[in-house]
Amino acid sequence: MNNFAIKNNELMFNEADEQEWCLSHDIFLLARALTEDEKKQLYDPAKDQMPSLVQVRKRLNQYQSAFSQKPKVLTNITLTPADEHEHALKTLNSVKTLHAKAKEIATVAFTAKMEKQTDKVKLLYKQAFDYERKAAMLSAEDIEPTHFMLFKSAANLALEADRYEEAVEIIELGLSHDLTIEMTEELLGLLDYLADIYYEKGEYSKAQPLLEKTLAIRYDKLEEEHWDIPNSLNSLGLLYQAQGEYDKAEPLLEKALAIHEKILDAEHPDVAMSLNNLGSLYQKQGEYDKAQPLLEKALAIREKTLETDHIDVATSLNNLGFLYQEQAKLLFEKALTILQKRLGNHHPYVNITHNHLVWLLQGRQ
């Protein structure tokens, strides 16, 4: 199902497509129409590629559109008892029938989600996942393109049900087959998404093997300068950085920047992102002379290419401000040491410099 149309390098995305996509349980809720800028963010002409579902889901999960507002009268949704559900799972052995059942329950789950019947949403998605997983398992011996979609769909349902380990299992089963590059990327994108969930929750030990796996597979399947390689490098590098493993993070972030600078325009937002990532790492390591030009360049690109109130501009300003603050601290400390040695501890000039340092340190608290 193709929910996007590309015309003159612009993404055409309407509410009918949006609603169809949501109801197909490939899953995100939008609660308002997208702005033109938001539409353009979904498609990058520099890469000449439509985004994967998971990319869109990650970018737009904060939005909701008019059709997803909670209605005044809720749909009467009855959950299938656990014993009936298990019995049906055991007796159904047709891929087509299992998939149809999964789609039926997923549509009900989406309705519950749209109406904010939160006590039923995850249970429904779990039941839908059970049927879709069995359909995928039965189709595993005949992995045609249509059957590959069962693995992707089952993984999405598991994610909606917060069944993360089961999502990983079904994704890895799909990846064990001889898939096309496009199919492989769809499943790797879901692992990226799950790793991002773990990262945001601070569960780094769960995110790390997923990101290491996606990077290894991409190195094996893709050209080194494919745009998904630097994205993987950045993700894993940032994860290592968050864990204080700077020696592991540095070569990955340096490589990501080198590839982005080679394959993209000099002022592309992804170049700014890689500059910011590497500059921030140098800053954390106290290598301020290496960090400053990178952070300044990232800010210059963002101020030129983005809206003045864009969050990435604020991020760059914040990072650079903190760097200047760190540098100022070192300068004041060095000046104070020299002045104390030459003028003694009670000289007015020494007191002024000391007060400046105290003021700076208090401002950092």
- Residue 237 binned pLDDT confidence (cut-offs 50, 70, 90): very high
Q: What is the pLDDT of residues 124-145, one digit of tens each?
A: 999 999 999 999 888 876 656 5
pLDDT bracket for residue 229 (50, 70, 90): very high
Least confident of 52-61, 98-107, 355-364: 52-61
How does 319-356 read in b/e, with b if 16+ C-beta sit within 10 Å? bbeebeebeeeeebeebbeebeeeeeeeeeebeebbee
Taking alpha carbons only, the member of 332, 327, 335, 275 closest to residue 302 is: 275
Handedness of CA 210, 212, 213, 215 (dihedral sign): positive
Is 214 within 8 Å of 180 (Cβ atoms)? no
Percent of the chain with pLDDT over 70: 78
What's the rounded Cα separation, in Å, for the pair 305 and 79?
A: 50
pLDDT of amino acid 227 = 82
Q: What tens digit of pLDDT does each residue of 341-359 get?
A: 888 888 887 888 888 778 7
What pLDDT score does 7 carry?
36
pLDDT of residue 124: 93
CA contacts within 13 A on the Cβ side of 14: 2
CB atoms near residue 57 (< 10 Å): 20
User: What is the spatial distance between Cα 133 and Cα 328, in angstroms, rounded to a whole number?
Assistant: 58
State pTM to two decimals.
0.73
Angstrom distances, CA of residue 123 to CA of 43, 105, 163: 34, 10, 10
- Alpha helix (H) ranges present in the chain? 15-23, 36-41, 53-60, 82-91, 95-114, 118-138, 145-160, 164-175, 181-200, 204-221, 228-242, 246-263, 269-284, 288-305, 311-343, 348-364
pLDDT at 48: 43
φ, ψ of residue 5 to 5 degrees: the values are -130, 135
